[in-house]
């Protein structure tokens, strides 16, 4: 079975030799095909058939491509639901569900909360990244452990404030885990509940209460300033090529803002006029990144064919070793609430380095260079300023010094 976009001209459009065409989704199953009308008319020259996207020449191409991704996903979700429910996804059945003519068994069938979770994870295998899918599985595994401790089976009717408060008590106070970990699980749970509510499985909206909130406390994440990055790139690693490759990948990430999962997508083919065009793996966002001089030097070193990143855990271990070699030995205090108490822990800076430090370093250093937040967000792919500002890791002391410098310049 295949799901693809297809441009088709009406008879009138062909007669008038129009350069525009209607956009359809074409679904084929067992040699039979059907079309889903998208209500979109596109100039033929703006359509990228190979990548199934509108080109950058299309006004508002980013918004349109996000819309097309969601529309295609809707068809794929119908198919995945059929497969999960052991219903043959014939073209007529899928078309009927799309048009609302078919009630769809999921509207009649009653699923428990846990049955729906299984269904959600199954249909998400093709639409979520492996890391995100792993987060869902781990989170619901933790909820299962809580269920045994709680003494009640979690189901639609009892996901309320009593559930929330008991789970918080178990996660933060009994297990002594971090508030942010609890908040992450609640965030994923609310995503599943929203989808279940939209699909008609759940009618309990207690989770939408303001008190049923995603908890979050500020984390003492570090970033590498440009002086530290200069020290990293100057390290003599000729005796350890693996460490050298990890260092170079990290350095490129620090000056592009890319996640490590996207670094392997940098090739000569997607570079034009000192600009890198990439669709991010995690969010599917199309971004364009300027090639700074720092990046160009590394790209030329590898003839624009960067080494493949190692597994995240291995990368983090090597990055900490690099931090030690770069003498990042100053102390950093972190504060976390666990078991109702604030726990203070002291680390060496190198102990806190991870792959994600690179994106924080890019955002913070470009912000310090004076670039507008909106410009930086376009490069990092952030759509929320609130989320983006979490990446800016300027200390209070550093902020005060910068304020003094700028006030002297404006005086």
In a domain, 370, yes or no: yes
CATH of the domain at 196: 1.10.150
pLDDT tens profile 124-150:
887 787 888 899 999 999 999 999 999
Residues 264, 355 within the same domain = yes
Segments forming the whole domain that contains residue 43: 2-99
Residues 286, 338 within the same domain = yes
pLDDT value, residue 166: 95
The C-alpha angle 307, 259, 398, rounded to 5 degrees, equals 115
Phi/psi at 338 (5° precision): -140, 135
| pLDDT(256) > 60 | yes
Q: What distance lies between CA 287 and its chain's CA centroid?
A: 13
Residues 272, 133 within the same domain = no
Residues 282, 369 within the same domain = yes
Confidence of residue 112 (pLDDT cuts 50, 70, 90): very high
In a domain, 297, yes or no: yes
pLDDT tens profile 204-255:
999 999 999 998 876 667 899 999 999 999 999 988 999 999 999 999 999 9
Residues 250, 318 within the same domain = yes
In a domain, 216, yes or no: no
In a domain, 105, yes or no: no
In a domain, 396, yes or no: yes
Average pLDDT over residues 271-281: 87
| CB-CB neighbours of 218 under 10 Å | 8
Specify the residue for token string 């030799």.
17
DSSP assignment of 336-379, as one string? EEETTEEEEEEEEGGGG--TTHHHHHHHHHHHHHT--HHHHHHH
Cα–Cα dist 73/352, whole Å: 38
3-state secondary structure 13-80: HHHCCCCEEEEEEEEEECCEEEEEEEEEEEEHHHEECCCCEECCCCCCHHHHHHHHHHHHHHHHHHHH
In a domain, 260, yes or no: yes
Question: Which is nearest to 29 in space by CA: 80, 89, 109, 76?
Answer: 89
Residues 186, 122 within the same domain = yes
Give pTM, 2 decimals: 0.61
pLDDT tens profile 329-383:
998 887 776 666 777 888 899 999 999 899 999 999 999 898 888 899 989 888 7
| pLDDT(107) > 50 | no
Residues 391, 358 within the same domain = yes
| pLDDT(122) > 50 | yes
Question: Which is nearest to 36 in space by CA: 44, 47, 25?
Answer: 25
| pLDDT(188) > 50 | yes
Last residue of a domain, one of 76, 99, 122: 99
Last residue of a domain, one of 208, 241, 276: 208
């Amino acid at each position: 079975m295949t799901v693809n976009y297809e441009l088709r001209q009406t008879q009138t459009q062909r007669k008038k030799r129009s350069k525009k065409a209607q956009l359809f989704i074409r679904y084929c199953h067992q040699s039979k095909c059907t079309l889903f009308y998208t209500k979109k008319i596109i100039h033929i020259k703006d359509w990228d058939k190979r990548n199934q996207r509108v080109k950058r020449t299309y006004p508002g191409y980013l918004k349109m491509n996000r819309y097309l991704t969601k529309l295609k996903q809707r068809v794929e979700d119908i198919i995945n639901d059929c497969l999960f429910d052991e219903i043959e996804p014939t073209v007529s059945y899928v078309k009927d569900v799309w048009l609302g003519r078919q009630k769809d068994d999921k509207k009649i069938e009653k699923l428990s909360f846990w049955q729906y979770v299984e269904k959600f994870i199954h249909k998400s295998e093709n639409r979520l990244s492996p890391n995100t899918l792993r987060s869902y599985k781990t989170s619901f595994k933790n909820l299962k452990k809580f269920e045994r401790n709680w003494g009640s089976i979690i189901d639609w009717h009892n996901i309320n404030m009593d559930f929330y408060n008991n789970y918080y008590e178990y996660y933060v106070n009994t297990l002594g885990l971090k508030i942010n970990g609890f908040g992450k699980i609640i965030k994923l749970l609310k995503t599943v509940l929203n989808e279940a509510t939209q699909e008609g499985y759940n009618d309990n909206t207690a989770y939408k209460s303001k008190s049923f909130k995603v908890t979050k406390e500020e984390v003492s994440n570090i970033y590498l300033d440009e002086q530290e990055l200069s020290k990293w790139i100057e390290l003599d690693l000729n005796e350890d090529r693996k460490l050298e490759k990890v260092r170079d990948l990290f350095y490129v990430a620090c000056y592009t803002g890319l996640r490590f999962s996207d670094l392997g997508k940098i090739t000569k083919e997607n570079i034009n006029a000192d600009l890198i065009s990439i669709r991010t793996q995690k969010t599917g966002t199309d971004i364009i990144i300027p090639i700074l001089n720092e990046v160009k030097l590394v790209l030329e070193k590898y003839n624009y064919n960067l080494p493949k990143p190692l597994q995240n855990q291995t990368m983090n271990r090597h990055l900490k070793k690099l931090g030690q070699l770069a003498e990042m030995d100053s102390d950093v205090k972190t504060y976390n609430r666990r078991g109702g108490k604030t726990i203070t822990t002291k680390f060496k800076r190198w102990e806190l380095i991870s792959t994600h430090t690179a994106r924080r370093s890019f955002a913070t250093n470009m912000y310090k260079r004076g670039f507008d937040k909106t410009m930086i967000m376009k490069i990092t792919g952030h759509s929320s300023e609130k989320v983006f500002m979490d990446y800016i890791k300027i200390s209070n002391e550093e902020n005060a010094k910068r304020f003094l410098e700028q006030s002297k310049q404006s005086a």
